[in-house]
Amino acid sequence: MKDSAKQNLPPGTLVYTGRHHQVTPEMTLIAFSADHYVKQHIERIEDIESVEGVKWLNLTGLSDLEPIRKIGDFYGIDPMILEDIVHVEQRTKIELGENYLFAVFKMIYTRKDMADDAAESRHHFNHEHISFLLMPSLLITFQEEPGDVFDGVRGRLSDENGRIRTRGADYLFYALVDALVDHQMEAMLTLQNDIDSLEASIVEDEIGKIEPLYHLRKSLLILKSGAMPLQETLTRLIAQDTVFLSPMTRTYFKDVIDHAVHLSDRIMMYREVVASLFDMHQTNVSNRMNRVMTTLTFFSAIFIPLSFLAGFFGMNFEVFPSLHYPYALPIFIGSCIGIALLMLGFFKWKDWF
């Protein structure tokens, strides 16, 4: 569903719908070949053409629309594609144009937020919209904010012995998508550890609050939104006859699809686990309440005859047998204690507690 800021606007209108409005746009260019590597910040799109080799342009910050418009004008990008770049609620997809391949993915990776108590620290997912424009010798990526999951790829590019240096932009595109899936797998493993730990606590009935379960379910939904569409999207990509992917790169994408299928299966399995944990937590809460009600019922049952005796001997009659008997009060107290112990013994004999 489109953001309210985009309502009643014509198609192709650029409106950034994310929340990172304070990020200053920055363009970083990496150019490489088998025998050279250069990394630099650029101010003008025209400067890209003066650099040799396979190029990767990374634009960080989408709130300022001017750099995106300049890229679109310089490379002849359809305005509808540019609209999808800044519309962060766009679904995961891949579209083939005449001169480029366009892709939208969700970049998900973990960060650990420490609570006041270190034992209550939780893992949270950083969820970011990221777009790709793939051309014959150029790959352009668009990120919402600084920080990503591509440091490993950058390290391989800077290594003069790295195999990636001898490949084209399509292989670089594969490497970045593979990094996205790998970090989603890492996020799934982190979430799996949190689920296993919480499951042990619930089984031992050591957790009283339901907030951790809601946190896990929300994290699973975030991971599902990014990971589940990958299998279908990448399968359609390698099935299409496109000049933007070499036969070797298509083979590599099959491995990414296998990882995506495995990730989807794990997500579905742990959705069932979390749902079961909700039921188990509610059962524990009901059992605790039943124990409380059982204890209160025992007290009530014990005090019923005692209340009867207190009411009976508290009646204001002028003539009352044993009223002036010197041992009446100790006998009454002893009788009450005896009745209470007798009832407790009966409850224990019936194995009611």
Is residue 131 in a domain? Answer: yes
pTM comes to: 0.78
Helix/strand/coil for 107: strand
Token output for 258: 């296998």
**Pseudo-torsion of CA 15, 21, 27, 33, nearest 10°?**
-80
Phi and psi at residue 318, in whole multiples of 5°? -75, -35
Q: Provide the number of structural domains found in the chain.
A: 2
pLDDT at 8: 58
With contact defined as beta carbons under 8 Å apart, do 96 and 240 qualify?
yes
Statement to judge: residues 206 and 310 lie in one domain:
no
pLDDT at 1: 43
C-alpha 65: how far from its chain's center? 29
Statement to judge: residues 307 and 185 lie in one domain:
no
**Burial degree of 87 (CB within 10 A; 0-12, 13-18, 19+):** buried
Statement to judge: residues 156 and 94 lie in one domain:
yes
**Residue 198: CATH number of its domain:** 3.30.460.20
Q: What share of the chain is helix, strand, coil (3-state, %, to 5)?
A: 55, 15, 30
Phi and psi at residue 96, in whole multiples of 5°? -105, 120
With contact defined as beta carbons under 8 Å apart, do 134 and 122 qualify?
no
Token output for 65: 């629309």
Taking the chain (353 residues) in consecutive chunks of 10 residues, what is each chunk's mean pLDDT? 57 83 92 91 89 93 92 92 90 89 91 48 77 94 92 91 89 95 90 82 68 82 86 88 88 92 89 82 77 82 84 75 76 85 83 73
Statement to judge: residues 256 and 307 lie in one domain:
no
Statement to judge: residues 225 and 311 lie in one domain:
no
Tally of CB atoms within 10 A around 196:
12
Statement to judge: residues 110 and 144 lie in one domain:
yes
In DSSP terms, which residues pair with 41 in a beta bridge? 28
**Pseudo-torsion of CA 88, 181, 229, 18, nearest 10°?**
-10
**Burial degree of 131 (CB within 10 A; 0-12, 13-18, 19+):** buried
Statement to judge: residues 340 and 266 lie in one domain:
no
pLDDT at 120: 46
pLDDT at 2: 46
Phi and psi at residue 53, in whole multiples of 5°? 95, -175
Domain that holds residue 200: 4-285
β-pairing verdict for 122-135 and 101-113: antiparallel
Statement to judge: residues 147 and 273 lie in one domain:
yes
Statement to judge: residues 49 and 194 lie in one domain:
yes
